[in-house]
Structure 1
Amino acid sequence: MLYTTDMFSAWYLRSAAYIRTQLHAIVKNDARNVIFVAIIIGIVSGLAAVVLKSTVHFIQSLLISRKESDYGYWLFLLYPLAGILLTAIYIRFFHGGVFDKGVGNILFAIFKKASKIERHKTYSHLLTSGVTVGFGGSVGLEAPIVITGAAIGSNVGNYFRLSYKQKTLMLACGAAAGIAAIFNSPVAGVLFAVEALLFGVTVSSFVPLLISAATAAVVSKILYSGQPFHLITSGWEVQAIPFYILLGLFTGLISLYMTRTTLYLEEKFSGIKSYWRKAIIGGLSLGALIFIFPPLYGEGYDSINFLFSEKAVLLFDNSLFHQWKYVPAVILIYLAGIIAVKILATSLTLASGGNGGIFAPSLFTGAVTGYFFAYAVNLTGLVELNVVNFTAVAMAGILSGVIQAPLTAIFLIAEITGGYALIVPLMIVSAISFFFIRYFEKYSIYTKKLAEAGVIDPENKEVTAVSNINIEEIIERNFTPVSPDASLGELVEVIAHTTRNIFPVVNESGKLMGIVYLDDIREIMFNQDLYSTLFVTDMMSRSLVTWDISEPVQNAIHKFEKHNVWNIPVTREGKYDGFISKSTLFSHYRKQMSEITKM
C-alpha cells in the first residue's frame, strides 16, 4: 500500500485530536491530575527562563568584548539605543505597534479576558526583553519571564479546555515558575503569584504552584547553574535593630520615589506620538546616563555582587570619576547619584519602547541604598554596621515597597543570597518599607493604573467583582422604542406585540426623551376616543435615571440603591442603547464574587 503525504497528514491530525481529547478527559475528570499540567508548565517555563538568561549573557559578552578597542567605551552611548530600536522595530512590524508590557497586564487578562493570554506572548517577551537588556537596557528580565510563564500557563490551560478557575491557577503556576527559574527561588515564585496575582487563594491551590515552581527551578538549576548573588554572612547583631528601622523608613522613601517617577515618566512619554522619536530620545538619554554611571548598564547584578564583596570601588570602573574612587565623600556622592538616576534609566528604557521589568532595578537600587546607608553611618565613627547585611536587607526593603509584596521580598532575598541568617532584619525592613509606602500609595506599581481605571481593587473584592462584569452581557435591548409623536392608538398596537411593560421614548436622532410605563396608562389605554388625540409625549415620564455606558458599573449599583428602581435605561454617547435590570446586574455580581473568592 502506498502512503501519500495527505494520508499521513490526516492520520497525524486524527491522532493529535484523539490524544488531546484523552488528556482533556484525564485532567477534567480528576482534579489531582492538574499537577500533571503544572509540571508541564514548570518544565516549559524553566526552559524559557534558561533561553532568556543565556540570550542576554551571549549578547552582553559580545558587546563587552569590544571594550578593548580604542572606541569601545564610546559605543556604550549607542548600545542602549540600538537595543531599544531593534525592540521597537520588532513590535512595530510584527505586532502593529501594540504590545502590552508589565505584570499589570496579566491582572487585566485574569479579570477582563477570562485568563486568556495571546499565544505570541509565549515567545515575544523573550525576544524583546533579551535584546533590550542584552544591549544595556536598565531593566530586569523578571516581568518578561513572568508574562511568558503566565502565557504558557494560560495557553496550556486553553489546550486542555480547563475552567476559568483552573486556567487562572495554571496562569499563576506559569508566573511562579518564571520567578523560580530566573532566580532559582521556588518559594519566592509561589509567594509572588499569591501576593501579586491571586487576591484570594485556597490551600489546595498551593500544591500546583509549588510543583510548577519547583520543577522550573530544577530545570534552571540543571541547565543554567549558579545563584545570581553570593553573600557570606554569619548573622546579625541585635544592637543594629534601630538602624534597620531607620533603613526601613529610608527604603520606603526611595520606593515611593521610584514608583512615582516611573509612572510620571511613562505618562510624559505617552504624549510623544512618534514611535521612532520616542525610541531615539529615550535611547540616547539612556546611553548618556550609562556613560556617566556605567553600573546602570543592564540588570546590574554584577554591581550587586561587588557590593556584597565590599568592593564598591569597582563601580567606578570605566566611569568619569575613576580617579576619585578611594575618596569617601566621592563614594557617597557617586552612590547617591546612582540611586537617584537608576529609576530614570529604567523608566527611559521602558517608556521609549524597550521591554523589561522593575524587579531587577528594585534589587539594584536596594543594594546601593543599603550600602550607602551603612557606609555613611560607619563614616561617622559612632558605630560600625555590617555593610553587607544592610546591602542585602535593603534589597528586600525596596522590592517590598515598589511591588508591595513583602513576603515575596523577604523570601526572595533569603533564597537568592543563600540562607535565612538575616530573616529577622529582612522582616523588619520589608514591613516598615511596605507600611511607609502604603501610607502614600494605596496601590503597587503593578495595580495603580488598573485601580484608577476601575478594573481591579486589590483591597476590595466587591469593587473588583463589579468592575469585571461584562457590560454588554447585562444590557437588555428587547424593549420597543416609541416616538414622542406616536398616538395612543399606535402605542397600544406596540403594546399588543410585546411582553414588556416599559417603553423608551426615543426621538429621530436616537436621544432618550422619556419612558412610558404600562401601569401609568392602563386606565386609558382602552379608551378609543383618545387613540388619535392623546400622544406619547403627553403620557411619558420625563423624570429619568439613566446610566451611560462610559460610567463605571459601580455607578449603576448606586443609582439602583438610591432611587429604588428595578430598571435603568442605558445611553451610549447620548443615545438610547437599552436597559439594565437590577436582578441581572446583581446576578452577574454574585457570579463574579464567587469566581474571585474561589481563585
Structure 2
Amino acid sequence: MLSVLVGFTSGLGAVFLKNLTHFFQHLLEGNLVRYYHHAFYFVFPIIGLWFVYFIMKYVLRNKVSHGIPSTLYAIAKRKGIMKQYQMIGSILTAPITVGFGGSVGLEGPTVSTGAAVSSNIARLFHMNQTTRTLLIGCAAAGALSSIFKAPVAAIVFAIEVFSLDLTLASLLPLLLASLSAIITSYFFFGNDILLPFRIEDNFTIKDVPLFMILGLVAGIVSIYFTEVYDRIQSFFDKIESPIKRLLIGGVGLGVLVYFIPPLYGEGFDVINSIIQGNPEKALENNIFSLDPSKTWVVLVLLAGLVLFKIVASSLTFGAGGVGGIFAPTLFMGSIMGYVVAKFLNQFSLFQQSVSESNFALVGMAGLMAGVLHAPLTAIFLIAEVTGGYELFIPLMITAAISFAITKKVHPHSVYTMELGRRGELITHNKDQSVLTLMDMESVIEKNFIPVFPSMDLGTIVQQAIIKSNRNIYPVVNEKTQALVGIILLDDLRPIMFDQSLYNEVLAQDIMQDPPQLIFLGKDKMADVMKKFQDSGAWNLPVIKDGMYYGFISKSKMLTVYRRKLITFTN
C-alpha cells in the first residue's frame, strides 16, 4: 500500500515539475527570446540563479543539494531519513533553474522529491531503516517510470543506482510503485512521451564492429564528461562566497547559452530533432550564421554541443542551480552517436551506410552506461522508449564497452563520486555497505581507566587495576590528555604483586605504543576493520581532536556488525 502511495506521489511530483518548467521555458524562450531579442539568452540564466539563491536563503533557509547524491547520502549516513524541507526544495528551485536556461535536467530533482516524500511517509508509519530505504528506491522507480514511461527500466534503475537487493520482497513494492507512477503519468500526459520514436532500421550482424567503435567513443566521452564535471565542481567548492559562485557560474552559463542556444534548458527538443534525422532544426539559429545544410558544418556544431553541454551543466551546478545530470547525459549521448554515424557515412570508412537514428539512440545508452555507471538501466530505458528490442544487441555491446572503459578510469559515477571518496557509499558489496551503515560512536567504549606517565606501580594498582574490569589501560598526558601509550594487564601481572617495586616502577617504564590508532572523524569503519586485521589487536585506542577518547574492541565491533548485517539483509 505504501509503495503504491509513494509511486503516486512520485508521479505527481514529476507532473508538477515538468509542467512548471515547460511553462517558464515557453514563456521566456518561446516568447521573449523569439520575438524580442536574442540577448535574453544571456540574461535569463543569471536571473533564474538569483531567484534560486533567494528561495534557498529566505524561504527554505537550507541548501538544496543535487538530487540523487543527496538521496544516496541520506541512505548511507542518515538511516534513510530525509528532512521535510527536501520534499518541496527541488519543486521550488529546479523548475526555475531549468526554465530560466539552466543546462541541467529534472530527473534528479524528481527522484529527490519523491525520495523525501517516501522517507517522511515511512517515518509517519514508523517503518524501520530497511523499509525506508526500499521506499526511497520505490520513489526513484516511480519518478523515472513517470518521466519516461519506461516501468521496467525504472525498476532496474532503482536496483542499480540505489544498490537494492533484487528479491521478491523488494521486487513487488518496486513493481507497484513503478506501475502507479506510470498510470499517474498517463492520466495527466496521455500518450505523450519525451522520446517519441520507433525503430525503422533493423540491426544486422555486420554492424557489430561499428557499434563497438561507438562503445569506444562513448567510453572516451564519458571520461571527458566526468573529468570536466569533477574539475569544475572542485573549482567552485574552493569559492566560499555563494554570491561569487553565483556570479561566476551565472555569467559563464549566460555566455555559453547566448552563443550556443541549444544548451538552454534540458534539451529534449534537440534530442528529438537528432533522433528523427533533423539536426538542421536544432542548429538553424546558431550565432555564427553557418549553413547547417553542409555536412561539415553539422559535424562541427554538433561536436561543439557535446563538448560544451557538460561545461554548461557544471556551471549551473557550481552557481547554485538545482537539477540533474540525467538529461545532459542523454543530450550528449544522442548527439555523440549521431556524429559518429554521420562521420562514418560521410567518409564511407567501412563501405556500408549506418543508421544515424539508431546510432543516436544507442549513443544515449553508451553515455548513460559510462557516466552514470548504470549499463542495465541504459539498455532497458532505450529499448522501452523505442517500443521494441530490435536494438538490444547493439545496446548491450555499446553499453558494456563504454562502462568497462569508464569504470577503469573512474571507479565511481558522477552520482557517487564524492560519497565514494569519503567512504560513505552504499554499494552491492554487502560487507562494504554494512560497514558504511555502522555508526562509529556506537562501538566506542569509554569504561577504560586512564593513567598518567608519572604514576608509580602502586598507584596504578590502587586506582586502575582494582577499579577496572578491563585488561588495558591508556596512558595519557596529564595536561593535554593526549595518548602517549598503553599498558596491558599482561605487562603488569609479573610485577603487580611485588610491593617492593610499587614506588620504583612508573607507568612510562612499562607502557608500549599502541599497534594502531583510530582517528574519529577521519577513519571510516572500513579503515577501522582493516586496522584490526593488520595489527591483530583486540582493542585499539580512539583519538578525537588529538586527545584520547576511548577504545574500540574487535568483539564489540563484530557484534554490532552482525546486528547491522541482519537488519540490512532482512
Alignment TM class, shorter chain as reference: over 0.9
**Residues 371/523 of structure 1: CA separation in 2 closer, same or farther (3 Å cut):** closer
Please, which of 258, 263, 275 is the counterpart of residue 296 of structure 1? 263
Please, which of 373, 380, 390 is the counterpart of residue 411 of structure 1? 380
CA contact (8 A) 2:369 2:375 kept: yes
Partner of 1:468: 437
Q: CA offsets per residue over residues 429-475 of structure 1, 9 Å max, x none?
A: 22222222223222222222222211236364323322332111111
**Residues 482/358 of structure 1: CA separation in 2 closer, same or farther (3 Å cut):** same
* Residue 234 (structure 2) pairs with residue 270 (structure 1): no
**What is the CA distance between 1:537 and its match in structure 2?**
2.8
Counterpart of 2:394 in structure 1: which amino acid? P
Counterparts of 2:411 and 2:496, CA distance in 1: 57
Unaligned runs of 5+ in 2: none
Partner of 1:536: 507
Please, which of 21, 32, 39 is the counterpart of residue 74 of structure 1? 39
Counterpart of 2:328 in structure 1: which amino acid? P
Counterparts of 2:466 and 2:49, CA distance in 1: 66
CA contact (8 A) 2:163 2:428 kept: no
* Residue 543 (structure 2) pairs with residue 577 (structure 1): no
CA contact (8 A) 1:252 1:401 kept: yes
Q: CA offsets per residue over residues 22-70 of structure 1, 9 Å max, x none?
A: xxxxxxxxxxxxxx11111111111111110110011111112434676
Partner of 2:11: 46
Partner of 1:336: 303
Counterparts of 1:491 and 1:258, CA distance in 2: 62
Counterparts of 2:105 and 2:282, CA distance in 1: 19
Counterparts of 1:540 and 1:245, CA distance in 2: 64
**What is the CA distance between 1:290 and its match in structure 2?**
1.3
* Residue 415 (structure 2) pairs with residue 450 (structure 1): no
CA contact (8 A) 2:474 2:487 kept: yes
Counterpart of 1:236 in structure 2: which amino acid? N
**Residues 431/538 of structure 1: CA separation in 2 closer, same or farther (3 Å cut):** closer
* Residue 562 (structure 2) pairs with residue 590 (structure 1): yes
Counterparts of 1:545 and 1:292, CA distance in 2: 57
Return 200-209 or 420-429, whichever deviates more.
420-429
Counterparts of 2:435 and 2:547, CA distance in 1: 24
Q: Give the match's secondary structure for 2:485.
A: strand
Return 378-387 or 582-591, whichever deviates more.
378-387
* Residue 329 (structure 2) pairs with residue 359 (structure 1): no
Partner of 1:505: 475
Partner of 1:25: none
Partner of 1:379: 346
Please, which of 227, 245, 255 is the counterpart of residue 222 of structure 2? 255
**Residues 380/488 of structure 1: CA separation in 2 closer, same or farther (3 Å cut):** closer
* Residue 519 (structure 2) pairs with residue 548 (structure 1): yes
Counterparts of 2:352 and 2:211, CA distance in 1: 13
The Cα RMSD (Å) is 2.0
Counterpart of 1:327 in structure 2: which amino acid? K
**Residues 517/371 of structure 1: CA separation in 2 closer, same or farther (3 Å cut):** closer
**What is the CA distance between 1:526 and its match in structure 2?**
4.3
Counterparts of 1:270 and 1:560, CA distance in 2: 35
Return 188-197 or 300-309, whichever deviates more.
300-309
Q: Give the match's secondary structure for 2:550.
A: strand
Counterpart of 2:563 in structure 1: which amino acid? K
TM-score by length of 1: 0.89
TM-score by length of 2: 0.94
CA contact (8 A) 1:366 1:398 kept: yes
**Residues 69/39 of structure 1: CA separation in 2 closer, same or farther (3 Å cut):** closer
Counterparts of 2:568 and 2:296, CA distance in 1: 53
* Residue 459 (structure 2) pairs with residue 490 (structure 1): yes
CA contact (8 A) 2:60 2:89 kept: no
**What is the CA distance between 1:241 and its match in structure 2?**
2.5
Aligned residues: 563
* Residue 195 (structure 2) pairs with residue 229 (structure 1): yes
CA contact (8 A) 1:307 1:388 kept: yes
CA contact (8 A) 1:294 1:315 kept: no
Counterpart of 2:199 in structure 1: which amino acid? T
Counterpart of 2:148 in structure 1: which amino acid? F
Counterparts of 1:165 and 1:145, CA distance in 2: 22
Partner of 1:8: none
Counterpart of 2:477 in structure 1: which amino acid? N
Q: CA offsets per residue over residues 196-236 of structure 1, 9 Å max, x none?
A: 00253323211100100110111011112311122133341
Counterparts of 2:240 and 2:36, CA distance in 1: 34
Unaligned runs of 5+ in 1: 1-35
Q: CA offsets per residue over residues 55-105 of structure 1, 9 Å max, x none?
A: 001111111243467642211111111111211222233455533214122
Counterparts of 1:119 and 1:245, CA distance in 2: 46
Partner of 1:429: 398
Percent identical among aligned pairs is 37
Q: Give the match's secondary structure for 2:85.
A: helix
Counterparts of 2:259 and 2:91, CA distance in 1: 29
* Residue 102 (structure 2) pairs with residue 131 (structure 1): no
Within a 5 Å distance, the mapping from 1:310-349 to structure 2 comes to 310-349=277-316
Return 523-532 or 351-360, whichever deviates more.
523-532
**Residues 374/470 of structure 1: CA separation in 2 closer, same or farther (3 Å cut):** same
**Residues 555/41 of structure 1: CA separation in 2 closer, same or farther (3 Å cut):** closer
* Residue 496 (structure 2) pairs with residue 525 (structure 1): yes
Q: CA offsets per residue over residues 251-290 of structure 1, 9 Å max, x none?
A: 1211111111111111111111211111111111111111
